[in-house]
């Protein structure tokens, strides 16, 4: 059964890259009774371990979401910003943003002169205040904000912000709570700063030094008119990644995941993403190398305030993670 309440809380929780404190606390609370050991490393990765003497396995889902960092506050309440993670000006115009203290703003655009292109430098966040004191007190250079949008679900799908990669975190939380009987030494890593270059994964991969690593992240689909050509579709099951720009999945890992899916009657599809990367990209080149793969949750409209995924696909992903942990 899909736990909508958990997913909504995960999606709504504030946590842009580098400022994951709140989401880390939230996830820690969810898993604290299920892990043998919970640690936080210098970059802020949350690492939950189920101890064992067998194979060392690392699962990684990133806690951070894309957002904006405020670079300038003027006294009229017009804030300038730069993006944190992949976002461009066209995608931002008109959006509502929210800060960690709950205050909100709207992204507006400066007048564009003849033939001028829309860039982030031409946008500003209007925080809807004419009170200079209020503005000065509540907004500072260095503050970050994220999309403000409502969680929504239909019978089979969900629209929400930060499905990338809170849905991955959801999968790991559910999997950890249903951790199988096994000798394996399993690390459930809720990583930081993936959106700005998989930085958390790099250090977590180094310090844990696993024998097998599997990342949980979203991937695009080819089933909508948006022009992306892929064989992946919503409802097609857990996606076993074959390749993206950061990783060519190790053949043994691909075979393992395929075998597990077939053996356990888990619905799956193969995925090749022609852009983008995941935590596995950093982990697989750690030290002498780590055979790695990715279980992806197919999603549409990525890096927007309304990312869409299929609940059944998520269930299959959870099953596959549990099978792999064994």
Partner 1 sequence: MLKEFLFDVCSNHFVSGFEHINGDILTKYFKPYTDTLEKDKLGSYIFKRTGTRDTKIMLAAHVDEIGLMITKILEGGFLSFTTVGGINPASLVAQDVTIYGKENIFGVIGIKPPHITSEEERTKPHKIKDLFIDTGYTKEKLESLVKIGDIATVNREPLSLQGNVISAKAFDDRACVAVLLETAKELSKISHKSNVYFTATAQEETGMRGATTSSYKIAPDIGIVLDVGFGKTPDMPPDAPELGKGPIVAYGGRMNAKLTKKFVETCKKYNYPLQHEAVPARTGTDTEALHISRDGIPCILLSIPLRYMHTSVETIDLYDVEITGKAIARFINELDNSDLEEVLCF
Partner 2 sequence: MFLKELTELSGVSGCEYEVRNFIKDKLSQMGCDFYVDKLGNIIAHNKGRKNKTIMVAAHMDEVGLIVSNIDSEGFIKFKAVGGIDQRVLNSKAVLVGENKIPGVIGSKAVHLMTSQEKESSLPIDKLYIDIGTNSKEETEKLVNIGDYVSFNSSYVEFGDNLIKAKALDDRTGCSIILELMNQKLDADFYGVFTVMEEVGLRGAETAAYQLEPDLGIVLEGTVCADMPEVEDRDKSTLIGKGAALSLMDATTVYDIDIVRSVAKIAEGNNIMYQYRTSASGGNDAGAVHKTKSGAKAVAISTPCRYIHSSVNVASKKDIESVYMLAKQVILENQKGEQ
Sites of contact with partner 2 (CB under 8 A): 17-19, 41-45, 69, 71-72, 74, 80, 82-84, 121, 141-142, 193, 196, 199-200, 202-203, 206-207
Cα distances (Å, whole numbers) of residue 213 to 28, 204, 236, 250? 21, 11, 23, 10
Distance CA 27, CA 13 (A): 10
Show Cβ contacts of residue 3 under 8 Å, excluding neighbours closer than 6 positions: 170, 174
Instruction: Single out the segment in contact with partner 1 by CB under 8 A; choices: 44-52, 135-143, 239-247, 312-320.
Output: 239-247
Write out the H or E segment, with its range, that includes residue 319.
helix 311-325
Q: Give whichever of 121 and 289 is closer to partner 1, judged by the CB atom.
A: 289
Instruction: Single out the segment in contact with partner 1 by CB under 8 A; choices: 15-23, 26-34, 76-84, 224-232.
Output: 224-232
Instruction: Single out the segment in contact with partner 1 by CB under 8 A; choices: 124-132, 145-153, 191-199, 241-249.
Output: 241-249
User: Does the footprint of partner 1 cover residue 251 (CB under 8 A)?
Assistant: yes
Quote the Cα angle for 209-84-318, to 5°.
50
CB of 96 to partner 1, least distance (A): 34
Residue written as token pair 């939230």: 26
Q: Give whichever of 291 and 306 is closer to partner 1, judged by the CB atom.
A: 291
Number of DSSP helices (H) and strands (E) in the chain, helices first: 9, 18
Active-site residue flag, 75? no
Query: Which parts of 266-325 interact with partner 1 (CB under 8 A)?
Result: 270, 272, 274, 284-285, 287-291
Burial 80-102 (b: 16+ CB within 10 A, else e): bbebbbebebeebeebebbbbee
Write out the H or E segment, with its range, that includes residue 283.
helix 279-283
Catalytic residue among 20, 30, 174, 194: 194
User: Does the footprint of partner 1 cover residue 255 (CB under 8 A)?
Assistant: no
User: Does the footprint of partner 1 cover residue 225 (CB under 8 A)?
Assistant: no
Q: List interacting residues with partner 1 (CB under 8 A).
A: 222, 229-231, 242-243, 246, 248-251, 254, 270, 272, 274, 284-285, 287-291
Residues with a catalytic annotation lie at 194
């Amino acid at each position: 059964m899909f736990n909508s309440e958990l997913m909504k809380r995960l999606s709504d929780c504030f946590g842009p890259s580098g400022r994951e404190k709140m989401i880390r606390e939230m996830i820690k609370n969810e898993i604290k009774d299920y892990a043998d050991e919970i640690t936080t490393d210098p970059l802020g990765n949350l690492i939950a371990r189920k101890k064992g003497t067998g194979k060392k396995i690392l699962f990684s889902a990133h806690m951070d979401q894309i957002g904006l960092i405020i670079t300038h506050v003027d006294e009229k309440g017009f804030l300038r910003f730069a993006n944190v993670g992949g976002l461009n000006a066209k995608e931002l115009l008109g959006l509502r943003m929210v800060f960690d203290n709950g205050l909100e703003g709207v992204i507006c655009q400066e007048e564009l002169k003849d033939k001028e292109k829309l860039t982030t430098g031409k946008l500003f966040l209007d925080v809807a205040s004419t009170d200079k004191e209020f503005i000065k007190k509540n907004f500072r250079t260095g503050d970050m904000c994220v999309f403000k949008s409502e969680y929504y679900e239909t019978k089979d799908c969900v629209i929400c912000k930060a499905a990338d990669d809170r849905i991955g975190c959801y999968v790991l939380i559910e999997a950890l709570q249903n951790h199988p009987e096994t000798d394996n030494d399993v690390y459930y890593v809720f990583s930081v700063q993936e959106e700005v270059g998989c930085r958390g994964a790099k250090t977590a991969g180094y310090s844990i030094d696993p024998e097998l690593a599997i990342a949980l992240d979203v991937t695009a689909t080819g089933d909508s008119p948006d022009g992306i050509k892929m064989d992946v579709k919503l409802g097609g099951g857990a996606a076993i990644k074959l390749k993206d720009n950061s990783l060519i999945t190790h053949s043994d890992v691909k075979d393992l995941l395929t075998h597990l899916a077939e053996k356990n009657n888990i619905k799956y599809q193969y995925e090749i993403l022609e852009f983008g990367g995941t935590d596995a990209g950093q982990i697989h080149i750690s030290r002498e190398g780590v055979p790695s793969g990715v279980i992806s949750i197919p999603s549409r409209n990525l890096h927007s305030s309304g990312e869409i995924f299929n609940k059944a696909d998520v269930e299959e992903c959870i099953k596959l993670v549990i099978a792999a942990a064994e």
